[in-house]
Amino acid sequence: MKRNSSLVISLLLLSIILLVSGCSTANEPAKIRVVFVPFLSNAPFFIGVEEGYFKEEGFILEFVEVERTSEAIPALEQGEVDVVGGLISTGTLNAIARGANIKFVADKGHVTATGCNTAALFANKAFIEAHPDRNPGDLKGARISINPASMSGFWAEILLRQGNLTLGDIEDFRTSNAAEFEMMREGSIDLASVDEPWTTRMLQADLGDIWVSYGDLVPDASYAHVWYGPNFLEKKPDLGKRFMVAFLKGVAQFNEGKTDRNLEILEKHLELDKEFLREACWPSVNSDGTINPKTVMEFQEWAFQKGLIDNIVPIEMFWDPSFIEYARQEIK
C-alpha cells in the first residue's frame, strides 16, 4: 500500500510540475517577425511597439527591413516571417494565384484627394522648366524611375493615357530610392515615382516639384496593406486576431496626427528628425482597417492585359476582413 501511495504521490507531483511548466510556456510572449520597408505608412507598427499595444496582446516584434516587400513573398509563404507591411505587386498576386496562402488583412496606406502628397510623380527642375504646363503628353520620351509592373506603373499609365501615351512611350528605370535622389540631383532622370519620406526629401533639397499627386489622379486608391501568411491564416489565427487588435490601436494613435509622442516614436524608428517629420506628408490609413478591394481588381485587370499576371484573383482570395472585424469588436 505504501509503495502504491508513493507512486500516486510521485505521479501527482509530476503532473503539477508539467502543468506549471506548461502554464509558464503559454505565458511567454510570442515572437513575431514583421517585414517592412522604411516608409511612414509603417508607423502603426512602431507606435504599437513603443506604446505596449503588442506587448498587451502577448507579442514581441522583430522587424525585418527590406528594400522591396515583394522580396518577402517566399518567406511569408513558407512561414519564415509572420506579417508583411507591403505594397500591392504583381508578384504577390501571382503567388496567391498559384496557391500561396497570403491575404491582405488591413489597410496600411491609401491616397486621398483631400490629403497631402504622400505618393506622387516627382519631376526635376529642368523638366518642369521645359514643360511648364505639365501636360500628360509632355511625358513622351521622359526618363522616369518607376517599376512598370507595380501599382505606380498602373497609375502612371492612367496619367499617360490622358496624353494618348502608354508606358512604352517613356524610358523607365528601376532603382532604389537613394539612387533616385542622386539621379534626380544629377539630372540623369526626369521624373520618379516617390513615396514618403522621399517626397519631402526631394522637396527640401529643392530638386524639383511634384508633377502630379496620385491622390488627385486616383483618389481613395489603396496601395499598401498588412499581409498575413499561413502562420496567422492557418496555424494560429488567434494570434492573427490579437495582432490586429494591437495594430489598429497603433493606427488610431497614428491618426491623431503629429503629436509630440508620435513624432518621438517615428524619429526613433525611422531615424528622421522631428522637424522633418512635421513637414512630411503622413499617409492616410483607415482607422477601421478596411481596404478598397476595387483598387486591387482594377490593378489586376490592367496587369492581366499587360501579361504581368497569369490570372485575375477574385476578392475572396486576396482579402480577408475577419481579422479587422474581430479587432474592431475587441477595441470597442
Give me the pLDDT at residue 131, please.
95
Taking CA 294 as the corner, what is the angle to CA 288 and CA 299, rounded to the nearest 5 degrees?
A: 120
- What SS3 class is residue 142? coil
pLDDT, averaged across the chain: 89
Could you please state the CATH topology (level 3) that the domain comprising 119-217 is classified under. Answer: D-Maltodextrin-Binding Protein; domain 2 (3.40.190)
- Each residue of 89-111: pLDDT tens digit? 899 999 999 999 999 999 999 98
Domain 29-111+221-331 is found in CATH 1.40.20.10: no
- Each residue of 147-202: pLDDT tens digit? 888 899 999 999 999 999 999 999 988 888 889 999 999 999 999 999 888 999 99
Question: Over pLDDT 90: what percentage of the chain?
Answer: 74
Measure the CA–CA gap between 163 and 111, rounded to whole angstroms: 22
Measure the CA–CA gap between 100 and 21, rounded to whole angstroms: 36
Q: Is the confidence at residue 12, as pLDDT, over 50?
A: no
Find how far residue 123's CA is from the centre of its chain. 24
Q: Is the confidence at residue 207, as pLDDT, over 50?
A: yes
For CATH 3.40.190.10, the residue range(s) in the chain are 29-111+221-331, 119-217
Q: How many CA atoms lie within 13 A of 289 on its CB side?
A: 27
